[in-house]
Amino acid sequence: MGARPLLNRRLAGLGTTIFAEMSALATATGSINLGQGFPDTDGPAEVREAAVRALREGRGNQYPPGPGVPELRQAIAEHQQRFHGLTYDPDTEVLVTAGATEAIAAALLALLEPGDEVIAFEPFYDSYAACIAMAGAVRRPLTLRAPDFRPDLDELRALITPRTRLLLINTPHNPTGLVLTPDELAGIARLAVEHDLLVVTDEVYEHLVFSGGHHPLAALPGMRERTVAISSAGKTFSFTGWKVGWVKPCSPTYSLAC
């Protein structure tokens, strides 16, 4: 193999995920594990029983359609309409994935080309760095600072260059707990429209908000057509091991491409 490294050079320096390290330490020491986003208990019993019934009835035991089971895609579209007033066509604008992490990877690989720049709030879910690197893009962090971790939109504007392709927005935010306010979302939307940027929104904690509620960026003027919205049943229903996520693309073309 000569002098070429075995591992893709784009992944150099990324190493093992922090989740694997912290979970291994918690297991070895018997500690409470605060290093990974799973709940203390399983989700509702009726959800488990519905899954058992589906398995016994032979539903979902074989390959599903590529975009996902039609009933699930319909339910996701209805969820967006019910909670956020957003209309998506379940046949062309909803794609079911193996958890939200696959949705993030698919979106970034589909939308980025080598040399593109991505702005992401830091600290961030560590798969962001790997997915951006695999796409050959460049990560530009916007640091969220204690004690309130509010984003500095002037700093965000200063980070935008002619090579900026995409904003990667996580709200409610992991790990700080930040929930972007309507004013902050409006400011981000204005920058995205002004600079013609795509936005990928990681909204897996959308139903775990103590007050004020979650406001999707895609609902703001000019954002529906440039926002790829991602969420997850695992976080909402506390069944993270089932790995059920979904992505709502900014156009039907992207759903077919993914």
Q: Residue 214's pLDDT is what?
A: 94
The long-range contacts involving 205-210, CB below 8 angstroms and separated by at least 24 positions, are 205/172, 205/173, 205/174, 205/235, 206/83, 206/172, 206/231, 206/236, 207/235, 207/236, 208/172, 208/235, 208/236, 209/172, 209/179
Q: Residue 36's pLDDT is what?
A: 78
Q: Residue 256's pLDDT is what?
A: 42
End-to-end CA distance of the chain: 32
Q: Residue 1's pLDDT is what?
A: 58
Q: Residue 176's pLDDT is what?
A: 93
Residues of the chain with pLDDT under 70: 1-2, 251-258
- Bridge partners (DSSP) of residue 135 are none
What is the edge-to-edge ordering of all strands in the sheet holding 164-170?
Answer: 95-97, 245-248, 227-232, 198-202, 164-170, 117-122, 138-143
225: left (phi over 0), alpha (psi -120 to 50) or beta: alpha
The two tokens of residue 129 are 């760095």
Q: Residue 233's pLDDT is what?
A: 95
Q: Residue 217's pLDDT is what?
A: 97
Q: Residue 251's pLDDT is what?
A: 59
The answer to whether 199 and 166 have CB atoms below 8 angstroms apart is yes
Q: Residue 110's pLDDT is what?
A: 95
